[in-house]
Every structure is written in C-alpha cells, then in structure tokens.
Amino acid sequence: MTAYKYMNEAWIQEQKERSENVRSRLIVWRKQGSMVRLDKPTRLGRARELGYRAKQGYVIVRVKTGRGPREKPRPKMGRKPRSMGVVKYTPQKSRRWIAEERAGKKFTNLRVLNSYWVGSDNKWVWHEVIMVDPNHPSIYKDPKINWICDPIQKGRENRGLTSAGKRSRGLRRKGRGAEKIRPSLGAKKNTGK
C-alpha cells in the first residue's frame, strides 16, 4: 500500500468524524466564491492518484456546487399521474461532472484532466478539478501527459470523456450485463441506465 493510499484513508476518516479542522475549513470555503484557484491540492494523495504532478502547467481549481433538489418540478397544469414525468427520473449528470464543466468554461485555455470530492455540508458540495495547460513547455515535452495537448482533447469534459463523465454515461461496467450501455445510452434508447 502506497503512502498516498494511507493519506486518502486518513482524509476519509477525518471527514466521517467531522473534526474541528474539517468544520473550520468548510466555514472558510462557504465564504469564498464558487470557483477558487489553489496553489496545491487539499487531498494530495487523491490528486496524485488521478494524475496531478507538482510541476508547472498543472492547476487546481475548487468548485462549489449546490445541493438542492434535483427532481423534476411537478407540472402546474393537470395531467394523468402517469404522464407527469416526475417519478423514476434520474439526473443524467453527477455534481462532479457539473463541477468539471463549470471549471472548463471558466478556464478556457486549460484542459480538464480529472476531479475529486473534497467536502460537503447541508447546502454545498466542493470538488477539486485538476487542469492542465497544453501550451506549457513542461507539459507538451512530457511523454506521460502530452496526449492532452492534442486538439481532439479540447472540451473533453463537455463530451463526457473524463472519469466523472464516463461514470454518468454508464460506461463503468464491463462484460456481461453491460451490452446496452455501449456505444452510448442514446443509441440503445436509454435502456442501459
């Protein structure tokens, strides 16, 4: 087990216990804006697992998203209960995917690599998004990460190519029982979800 795995477990345990450190951190975050650029990741172990490296060209952004109800509003005019379209409705996007999209829209010159959860309270959820500058020499000269410099990787968070997007698209499963989720949910009349 690597040191980052131990760091991750310690972080999750601290969040579950709701220690004084966690509460004071959330109080500060609530007062900040909806998008904050950071010098270093809050969860270093998780960030490094997802591809972050402490060198130039990598940017960490903390995004705050709301935790309000995501069910469809009940129609005002009369309908049969069957055609209300309220029950058995699942949102197509996770809050993590929405956070990635907002970060990509704000920082248009950067590419979204991945994201992870850092905290939540009754009203807000915070995710940190790892972003990469494709025009930085330390990125396009590094053979491990320079695949993100290709023009096809632009806007990958909007097309569901990050891990949060793939998970929401249902592409996490493989093998038997996953026949209807590929190539996409729309291709199989949304029967895969």
* Average of per-residue pLDDT values in the chain: 88
For residue 109, the model assigns a pLDDT of 95
pLDDT band for 177, please (50, 70, 90 cuts): confident
Averaging pLDDT over each range in 13-22, 116-125, 170-179, which range is the top one?
A: 116-125
Domain 3-156 in CATH: superfamily?
Ribosomal protein L15 (3.40.1120.10)
Determine the average pLDDT of the residues in 69-90: 80
In this prediction, residue 1 has a pLDDT band, given cuts at 50, 70 and 90, of low
Q: Is the pLDDT of residue 192 over 80?
A: no
**Residue-wise DSSP of the chain:** --HHHHHHHHHHHHHHHT-HHHHHHHHHHHHS-SEEEESS-SSHHHHHHTT--SSTTEEEEEEEEE----SPPPPSS---GGGS--TT---SS-HHHHHHHHHHHH-TTSEEEEEEEEEE-SSEEEEEEEEE-TTSHHHHT-TTTGGGGSGGGTTTTTTT-SHHHHHHTTTT--STT-GGGSS-TGGGTT---
